[in-house]
Amino acid sequence: MTIRVLVADDQELVRAGFRMIIDDASDMEVVAEAENGADAVALARDLRPDVCVMDVRMPVLDGLDATRLLAGPDVAAPLRVVVVTTFDLDQYVFTALQNGASGFLLKNAGPTLLLESVRAAHRGDALVSPSITVRLFSHFSAPPSGAEPRQPHVPLSDREEEVLRSAARGLNNLEIAAELHISLGTVKTHLSSLQNKVGARNRVELAAFAWQTGRMNGTN
């Protein structure tokens, strides 16, 4: 199955570069381009691409607001959006993820990471640089150290707690499996169960839950 991608960026050269990278991959293609956020929203609603690759700073409507309109919590049928920007600013990352983005990359991340972020978003996962993930979520408000972590309506098992903390540290599935000495399939099963229990739409929201509920207190 070919992943249909919309690219939104106000710079024509950037759009051309992204198109070249994406169209060169055997499993995806660019189906539309937009030079501002308003056009991106209109095209995305009309074409329903599998993934939108969205710049932040664009005229008419910026990429963060466009992401909220396409993937935010109030959207009945949200699309999957990967935000790609030049600016490594915590506020951009935080707002993008709050607005429903499935990933956040810097434009200098390289072609491989761009393609992997599109594939991850299409799978329903999220790809954010581990360094950004840990730096960002470590700033989230959390209960005082020593306080009992808040449980979801259906309590987490001990193994689910371990998988959750590992994911929140930015480890990928293979790294979690190796660290906890469990199979890759078991990791995926636990992550799916965790998302259902805490109401998270993706891996990034799981990480946010772990930091916000005090599970990462004292974690390096």
Quote the pLDDT of residue 220: 41
With a cut of 90, say whether residue 41 has pLDDT above it: yes
Quote the pLDDT of residue 116: 86
With a cut of 70, say whether residue 15 has pLDDT above it: yes
Quote the pLDDT of residue 150: 58
Are residues 212 and 140 in contact, defined by beta-carbon separation less than 8 angstroms? yes
**What is the tens place of the pLDDT at every residue in 148-159?**
555 677 889 999
With a cut of 80, say whether residue 204 has pLDDT above it: no
The average pLDDT across 184-205 equals 87
Average pLDDT score over the chain: 85
Neighbours of 145 (CB within 10 A): 8
Neighbouring C-alpha atoms within 13 Å toward the C-beta of 217 = 14
- Structure pTM? 0.71
> How would you label 114-133 residue by residue, b for 16+ Cβ within 10 Å and e otherwise?
bbbbbbbbbeebbbbbeebb
Distance between CA atoms of 13 and 17, rounded to whole angstroms?
Answer: 6
Q: Could you give the domains of the chain? A: 3-128 (3.40.50.2300), 143-212 (1.10.10.10)
Helices 203-212, 130-137: axis angle to 10 degrees equals: 30
Quote the pLDDT of residue 113: 84
**What is the tens place of the pLDDT at every residue in 58-116?**
999 999 999 999 999 889 999 999 999 887 676 787 788 889 898 888 888 789 888 98
With a cut of 80, say whether residue 219 has pLDDT above it: no
Q: Which of 153, 79, 151 is nearest to 121 (CA)?
A: 79
The average pLDDT across 19-34 equals 97
With a cut of 90, say whether residue 36 has pLDDT above it: yes
Phi-psi region of 164 (alpha: psi -120 to 50; beta: other; left: phi over 0): alpha
Distance between CA atoms of 58 and 37, rounded to whole angstroms?
Answer: 6
